Amino acid sequence: MEMDGPVQATNSNPDEGLDPVNAQTGMADNDQRFLLFFIMGTYFGPDIKGESSPKSVLQRVAKGLPPYTSDQLARSQITILEIERTYHYVLRKADQSAVVKLPIFHQFIQGDLPKHEEDPRANYPQFPDLFPPSLHPHSLDRNQHKVVENIVFINNPDIFHIDQEDIERFRTLTGLEDFVLDEAAARLHYTEGSILLHNGEVTVNEPDEESESKKTRRVDELLELDDPLKHEHLMMHLNSDLVDRAGPAMVFLPSFPTKSELSNIVAATKSGFALTGSAAMGNMGPSVGLMDIGECEDAYLFRISLPGVKRDARDFSCEVESDGKVLIRGVATTGEKTVFRYSQMFEMQTQNLCPPGRFSISFKLPGPVDPQQFSGNFGTDGILEGIVMKDRDGR
């Protein structure tokens, strides 16, 4: 790939393997840096007003197009999360040794990736070299998501300008034969077994293969729904350090507690959490709101059973607050008296499933968290799984 100006890079031998020393020290090696540079330069470009066919950074350089000005830019925004997910989607078939860890990825995005002193050929241009901050500033949007301005994703890039050697290197490292990406799948890619943590987004997996495979909903766009405390029963799991433990327990309160009383009750437990809403209603059918909570050194994981809950992003939300409170709001679609299917009307003889309508569930994680480091996945199995990083500063 021959390039002029600040984005020039020297190619390395594509047959060179990933450096095991770099893998141990946490420094990105030649192939990892090549992939970062190549993916960002090929699948992203400036969002120019009136440009019907967006051109990637590397394509613009190869064509010798004149520099663009801020007046030509469309004032659009793309989240760092979408860029990150595209990177992982391109490398979904690659050996994991080719994929950098998130701290290194964000160093590249900020232009802080340390120079490779032992292999100068590995010092490819970084993200700010491709997208100068003066034209593509980094900021937080109104949802407190990290965004970059005036950048467009290109799912079917023109590759005429790319050297065949670089194309083969890309194919060898990624395992991909084609450069065309599914736009929705790329920008909303969820990596199993890894933590893609960002503020307040819940990914909803869609079962219809003909529609988008995933959708997201951000927390401040969520609907104003029922007060989670307006339910008759409050269920609380208790955990004790006493030698003579009573085991799992539920506490039923005879009247609605105030928010202050609820906070005091939860505060009296160690690693306890409170459930409200349909999760606490003993007369429900299937167990909406049954959950597991896990903990590792730097994060919490929770899984909640939500059978029969509408998975449309317009009706479902999951919010995480800094004190560890999680609030889930949604709409149950089961338990109707009358069901219409295929132009037929069924009068239900029994109604044991969760009643239809809006519901809310709230609980508290064992400790404070960083809401900006939260990711959730609502699968077709009716299980909502969320991972949120602990608040290191709050300790």
For 340-374, the pLDDT digits (tens) are 877 788 887 766 677 778 888 888 898 899 888 88
Spatial separation of the C-alpha atoms in residues 310 and 357, rounded to whole Å = 10
What does DSSP assign to residue 303?
E
Alpha-carbon Rg for the chain, nearest whole angstrom, is: 25
The pLDDT tens digits of the residues spanning 269-288 come to 655 666 666 555 544 444 56
Question: Residue 273 pairs with which residues in a beta bridge?
Answer: 237
Q: What are the backbone angles phi and psi of residue 186, rounded to the nearest 5°?
A: -70, -45
Residue 206: pLDDT band by 50, 70, 90 thresholds? very low
Distance between CA 303 and CA 191 in Å, rounded?
Answer: 17
Q: Above pLDDT 70, what percent of the chain?
A: 68
Alpha carbon separation from 266 to 257, 258, 270, 282 (Å, rounded): 12, 12, 8, 20
Please give the CATH number for the structural domain made up of 219-390. Answer: 2.60.40.790
What pLDDT digit, counting tens, does each position of 207-239 carry? Answer: 444 433 333 333 333 223 333 333 333 233 323
Q: Which residues make up the CATH 2.60.40.790 domain(s) of the chain?
A: 219-390
pLDDT at 314: 79
The pLDDT of residue 26: 60
Lowest mean pLDDT among 152-161, 236-245, 247-256: 236-245
3-state class (DSSP) for residue 338: strand
SS3 of the chain: helix, strand, coil, percent, to 5? 25, 25, 50
- Concatenated DSSP letters of 172-183: HHH--S-----H
Q: What's the pTM value of the predicted model, to 2 decimals?
A: 0.48
Nearest CA to 153 out of 58, 245, 42 is that of 42
Cα four-point dihedral sign 26, 31, 32, 37: positive
Distance, C-alpha 269 to centroid of its chain: 31
